Amino acid sequence: MGARDLIKLWPVYRQLTGDDRLGRGAAAESAVTRGLRPRTATADKVVKSVCPYCAVGCGQQVYVKDEKVVQIEGDPDSPISRGRLCPKGSASLQLTTGDARGHKVLYRRPHGTDWEELDLDTAMNMIADRVVATRGASFDWHDDEGTRVRRTLGVASLGGATLDNEENYLIKKLFTALGIVQVENQARVCHSSTVAGLGTSFGRGGATTFMQDLQNSDCIVIQGSNYAEAHPVGFQWVVEAKARGAKIIHVDPRFTRTSALADLYVPIRAGSDIALLGGIINHVIGTGAWFRDYVVNYTNAATIVSEDFRDTEDLDGLFSGLDAETRHYDFHSWSYEGLDVAPASGDRDSGYEARIRESGRGESHGAGGASVGEGEPRTDPTLEHPRCVFQILKRHYSRYTPEVVQEVCGITPDLFAELCESLTANSGRDRTSAFAYAVGWTQHTVGSQYIRAACILQLLLGNIGRPGGGIQALRGHASIQGSSDIPTLFDLLPGYIPMPHAHAHQDLDAFVAADAAEKGYWGNMRAYVTSLLKAWWGDAATAENDFAFDYLPKLTGSHSTYETALAQMDGVCKGYFLMGENPAVGSANAKVQRLGMANLDWLVVRDFSLIESATWWKDGPEIETGELRTEDIGTEVFFLPAAAHTEKAGSFTNTNRTLQWRHAAVEPAGEARSDLWFTYHLGRLIRERLAASGDLERDRPVLELTWDYPTEGPLDEPSAEAVLAEINGYGPDGAHLSSYEQLKDDGSTSCGCWIYCGVYADGVNQAARRKPGSEQDWIAAEWAWAWPANRRILYNRASADPDGKPWSERKALVWWDAAKGEWTGHDVPDFKADKAPDYLPPAGATGPEGISGTDPFVLQADGKGWLFAPAGLVDGPLPTHYEPQDSPFDNPLYGQSRNPVRQVFSRRENRLHPSGSEPGADVFPYVVTTYRLTEHFTAGGMTRWSPYLAELQPEFFCEISPALAAERALEHGGWATVVTARSAIECRVMVTERMTPLRVQGRTIHQIGLPYHWGPNGYTTGDAANELSAIALDPNVHIQEVKALTADIRPGRRPRGPALPELVREYQRRAGITERTGTGA
């Protein structure tokens, strides 16, 4: 460069000679500035991925430079997220590349006081040894009554909703083969009641619609969900609907960021939603606002119920069939008239049905409705018969008047009227309304029935299966839908096939006969089960050995994560895997979780950082209070660093039931590995050990397991695509299957999860399809793949009238093309493509052929949407308002206060509160509800370590109204201590008018909001809200009640050391709490 050029670079020269005489623009530009290139432009490659946080499933683009991730941002091609990300998704670069992640295996020896380092190989071999030893020592061939169970209760695992479908598949497959039944994940504690509620109502347990379709809604009711905060990017579709003129309603105990954008905010007392929904149902029926043609044709409104049935109207809050002593319902009297509901297999051993009831089978209706028995139910299409479902429904909800709604929920008649009016004015032939809910509904002792109430309402209004309608069950983990579909859940096999229960004469035929519905697609259950067994045991599964059905371990009741924690305390369960879940702060009654872990022989924690579940033995709350001493704890702890979503390939199933494939961007660093790698290699090591020295008969299921996945790359990563192909299934010729309609029950097909059959059709990974949303209509059928069969709106046959014509042009979705003789439209028809609207099943037809051309709910035994659930739920055929386990009020509707068959465990560590008019209830006068904030995620394992997120919500706080602050002398910004019979925690005080005191039963009730993200570890720390909650469960699915508790609140910080449990004991004494408290009606 010559001197002249150098001079030209001098800004002063440029200022004097150019047009920028003041030197404020072009002349001032420096060489560095001129050379700026964004790192997105200099990256070596861009990898398509999916956000690992909530279940919206936002598309991500991962930029890689020199084998390092340098930037993660939204993928504009995604029709779901349109390139946008929330703060958590935006912080996923920090999550995956930040220094909070561990990359070394750590080991805590029994009674050790600190971590030691261990190499990964040694750790894997030690873990394999532990599994083999513990399994060997605890293996049971038979239960106490001598029934064959072939299992171990010595080992358990928890976690899966943050993992990939392929990982969940391998975990469930390996552990089931080992005889481990206590396999659970976040789906239990988040949305298990969704599966039961939606499944029994419609036949499938997933959201009936997809988020993008909310843009077509005329009214959206968000209740039991803080949509804008917990699913911010999904909320764009609500904003879109609002921009198009839809009315947005938010019903919630707190005025949240969702309420801020709603047209109508309705404050409600936590735990009273069924009373509100029942009130709306009563309004809809009473004012004739229900959609008669839809209801008569598509629901079971006309079906006549057994004359033995007695409603809560007759029995003061109970249904017929209650055995008060065992606290179980015999639900035979709830059945349809004229149907034989006796189990088809006949010779049941005594106690079998009781065990099934105890376990609850609600979740097994996730992809197939409950069986209603053999025969044709009687109907009265005029809906006049006093025992038809419609009349029973009408009578059941007749007492849910606006006055009762006010009395129970604290909602004024004016607000209630506006809510009803908005919903009914926007439902019908030409208009549709949608409901969106989340864990505000699911996490109750009557959680499944909350969902059922919304199902009934949406069926009455004709809003299911139609554009702009439906029920969106907003899921909160990247693949929590997937971890239900391919369940790391104790009671399910892939595709919502129930885990078999122990039974004297159990074989495949008896198993299928007991559960398969006579009609509808669930009638083909034997094909689904056989194909699964073939996928798992290949050539070893033959017709002669019942396709290895006996290899499956058997249940003898409930083995949910809560029962597992108690079994750990009782010394039954000795080994525990935690894979991406943090129960030490995230599960109800966190103390029980920790005490359980403190009683284990060994614990394996796979996570990014040292979460509370990994370190409780050295710095947990019990160490501080002196209840436990590190040196006394014998649990051996392995910490194995996990690979991040950018470091492994696999699929997540989002809240739309859509499977989206992520490609691996980089290899995991250090000793971090995927859970696919961990499970595969653990299985390999265990098989080596068992082959060498095992008990062949016991170990056959493990040794004969198909476990030969190809591995790739420097780390021997098993091929996730090979696993997905197995899940999809193969035909007799070895070709990839394309539809579950191809599955056979003769062993000629294999399929790891029948509802996912088609995801690898034609040998193409359909989940990896990424045709830009901008090049498709709103259905975006060529973006990824949704179960079932790529249908995006379920039951969409109902978008057309019985003749097959759209109810209205404005709401057309799928219709019958008579000329072509097939169903067609915007979405893939959720119906047999060539079944004409006038098809009537011939006498005696079973399976799909037994369903008529006007029955949209093809997985239901009668093809109908169920207003009344004659089977499938253990706590009643109709949702009924019951008070939460711990409540300041008696039930004003009935003598029965609480769900009569709820599950309670009164143990020293899990004491319950007096409620309503019981003496001592006033010691805990306030309602507590727990929730998420936008800035954090679940129990905090993926956000509390992130500085960018921590600074946005840096401390644990409670939200209270100014009136409560005055009543308890709580100072804004100061400290408060919140106390229950379980524990006491401290938090900062946020006094806000967003918390509204309500008038309920003539008195003012205050509610306290507690975000549950915190714990003692991480970059931002605080007490965990789950120290306060109790284990009190919905009997259908064992989900805990953490959305409505009672508590006391007082100013100041909580006591330290032994003074903390002493404070709790003092409260227990003041409230007169005994082991019987809270266990009655």
Partner 1 sequence: MGRISGPLHDVAGDAGHHDHPPRMGFFTDTSVCIGCKACEVACKEWNAIPEDGLTFTGMSYDNTQGLSADTWRHVAFIEQRRPVEPPEDYAGVDVLGMAADGAAADFRWLMASDVCKHCTHAACLDVCPTGALFRTEFGTVVVQEDVCNGCGYCVPACPYGVIDQRKDDGRAWKCTMCYDRIGDGLEPACAKACPTESIQFGPLDELRERAAARVERLHADGVPEARLYGADPDDGVGGDGAFFLLLDEPEVYGLPPAPVVTTRDLPSMWRHAGAAALTLIGGVTAAYLAGRKR
Residues 105 to 164 in contact with partner 1, rule: CB under 8 A: none
- Selected binder of partner 1 within 105, 1019, 1027, 1030 (CB under 8 A): 1019
CB of 1013 to partner 1, least distance (A): 14
Q: Which is nearer to partner 1, 38 or 714 (CB)?
A: 38
Contact stretch for partner 1 (CB under 8 A) within 27-35, 395-403, 571-579, 755-763: 27-35
Q: Which is nearer to partner 1, 13 or 141 (CB)?
A: 13
Neighbours of 960 (CB within 10 A): 28
- Selected binder of partner 1 within 1, 2, 4, 24 (CB under 8 A): 24
CB of 238 to partner 1, least distance (A): 9
CB of 255 to partner 1, least distance (A): 6
Residue numbers 228-287 binding partner 1 by CB under 8 A: 228-229, 232-233, 235-236, 239, 255, 257-261, 265-267
Q: CA 446, 448, 449: angle at the middle one, nearest 5?
A: 65
- Selected binder of partner 1 within 64, 65, 90, 1079 (CB under 8 A): 90
- Selected binder of partner 1 within 950, 958, 1047, 1071 (CB under 8 A): 950
Measured in whole angstroms, how far is the alpha carbon of residue 280 from the centre of its chain? 26
CB of 1057 to partner 1, least distance (A): 25
CB of 71 to partner 1, least distance (A): 7
CB of 253 to partner 1, least distance (A): 12
Q: Which is nearer to partner 1, 9 or 342 (CB)?
A: 9
Q: Are 557 and 143 in contact (CB under 8 A)?
A: no
For residue 1002, state whether it binds partner 1 (rule: CB under 8 A): no
CB of 327 to partner 1, least distance (A): 39
| Residues 813, 828: Cα–Cα separation, whole Å | 9
For residue 78, state whether it binds partner 1 (rule: CB under 8 A): no
- Selected binder of partner 1 within 935, 1023, 1034, 1048 (CB under 8 A): 935
| Residues 1005, 463: Cα–Cα separation, whole Å | 34
Note the maximum CA span of the chain.
105
CB of 1074 to partner 1, least distance (A): 39
Phi–psi pair at 1050, nearest 5 degrees: -145, 155
Q: Which is nearer to partner 1, 73 or 862 (CB)?
A: 73
Show Cβ contacts of residue 402 under 8 Å, excluding neighbours closer than 6 positions: 279, 283, 413, 416, 417
CB of 412 to partner 1, least distance (A): 9
For residue 611, state whether it binds partner 1 (rule: CB under 8 A): no
Q: Is the dihedral of CA 426, 429, 430, 434 positive or negative?
A: positive
Radius of gyration of the chain measured on its C-alpha atoms:
29
In the structure encoding, which two tokens stand for residue 824, read together? Answer: 């067609």
In the structure encoding, which two tokens stand for residue 567, read together? Answer: 């079994």
- Selected binder of partner 1 within 93, 1049, 1060, 1071 (CB under 8 A): 93
Residue 220, SS3 per DSSP: strand
Q: Which is nearer to partner 1, 93 or 623 (CB)?
A: 93
Binding mask 977-996 for partner 1 (x = CB under 8 A): -----------x-x-xxx-x
Q: What is the DSSP letter of 486?
A: T
For residue 30, state whether it binds partner 1 (rule: CB under 8 A): yes
- Selected binder of partner 1 within 193, 312, 432, 934 (CB under 8 A): 934
CB of 899 to partner 1, least distance (A): 30
CB of 221 to partner 1, least distance (A): 16
In the structure encoding, which two tokens stand for residue 547, read together? Answer: 């396709």
For residue 32, state whether it binds partner 1 (rule: CB under 8 A): yes
Q: Are 796 and 823 in contact (CB under 8 A)?
A: no
- Selected binder of partner 1 within 1, 3, 37, 697 (CB under 8 A): 37
Q: Which is nearer to partner 1, 74 or 160 (CB)?
A: 74
- Selected binder of partner 1 within 6, 7, 8, 25 (CB under 8 A): 25
Show Cβ contacts of residue 843 under 8 Å, excluding neighbours closer than 6 positions: none
Distances (CA, A) of 199 to 362, 456, 875, 880, 890: 8, 13, 15, 18, 31
- Selected binder of partner 1 within 3, 22, 324, 692 (CB under 8 A): 22
CB of 169 to partner 1, least distance (A): 32
- Selected binder of partner 1 within 953, 980, 1029, 1068 (CB under 8 A): 953
**Buried b / exposed e across 93-118, counting CB within 10 Å, b at 16+?**
bbbbbbebbbeebbbbeeebeebeeb
For partner 1 (CB under 8 A), the number of binding residues is 76
Name the one residue in this structure whose structure tokens are 């997220």: 81
**Residue 975 CB-density burial (10 A; 0-12 exposed, 13-18 middle, 19+ buried):** middle
Q: Which is nearer to partner 1, 43 or 163 (CB)?
A: 43
Torsion of CA 269, 274, 275, 279, to 10 degrees: 130
Binding mask 368-407 for partner 1 (x = CB under 8 A): ----------------------------------------
Which residue type does 208 have? T
Q: Are 707 and 683 in contact (CB under 8 A)?
A: yes
Contact stretch for partner 1 (CB under 8 A) within 516-524, 665-673, 818-826, 944-952: 944-952
Secondary structure of 306-359 in the HEC alphabet?
CCCCCCCCCCCCCCCCEECCCCEECHHHHCECCCECCCCCCCCCCCHHHHHHHH
Contact stretch for partner 1 (CB under 8 A) within 80-88, 448-456, 596-604, 606-614: 80-88
For residue 33, state whether it binds partner 1 (rule: CB under 8 A): yes
Q: Where are the beta strands (DSSP E) in 8-126?
A: 45-50, 59-65, 68-74, 106-108, 116-117
Residue numbers 643-672 binding partner 1 by CB under 8 A: none
Q: Which is nearer to partner 1, 56 or 702 (CB)?
A: 56
Neighbours of 995 (CB within 10 A): 24
**Buried b / exposed e across 1000-1019, counting CB within 10 Å, b at 16+?**
beeeebbbbbbbbbbbbbbb
Contact stretch for partner 1 (CB under 8 A) within 25-33, 125-133, 807-815, 856-864: 25-33
| Residues 104, 101: Cα–Cα separation, whole Å | 9
Q: Which residues pair with 249 in a beta bridge?
A: 221, 264
- Selected binder of partner 1 within 74, 366, 447, 856 (CB under 8 A): 74
CB of 436 to partner 1, least distance (A): 14
Q: Are 1005 and 997 in contact (CB under 8 A)?
A: yes
For residue 89, state whether it binds partner 1 (rule: CB under 8 A): yes
For residue 413, state whether it binds partner 1 (rule: CB under 8 A): no
Residue numbers 493-552 binding partner 1 by CB under 8 A: none
Q: Are 489 and 185 in contact (CB under 8 A)?
A: yes
- Selected binder of partner 1 within 6, 16, 28, 764 (CB under 8 A): 28
CB of 589 to partner 1, least distance (A): 27
- Selected binder of partner 1 within 49, 60, 94, 186 (CB under 8 A): 94
Q: Which is nearer to partner 1, 694 or 947 (CB)?
A: 947
Q: Are 689 and 129 in contact (CB under 8 A)?
A: yes
Q: Which is nearer to partner 1, 90 or 125 (CB)?
A: 90
Contact stretch for partner 1 (CB under 8 A) within 26-34, 470-478, 715-723, 848-856: 26-34
Cis peptide upstream of residue 788 (ω within 30 degrees of 0): yes
Which residue type does 344 have? A
Torsion of CA 342, 346, 352, 353, to 10 degrees: 0
For residue 84, state whether it binds partner 1 (rule: CB under 8 A): yes
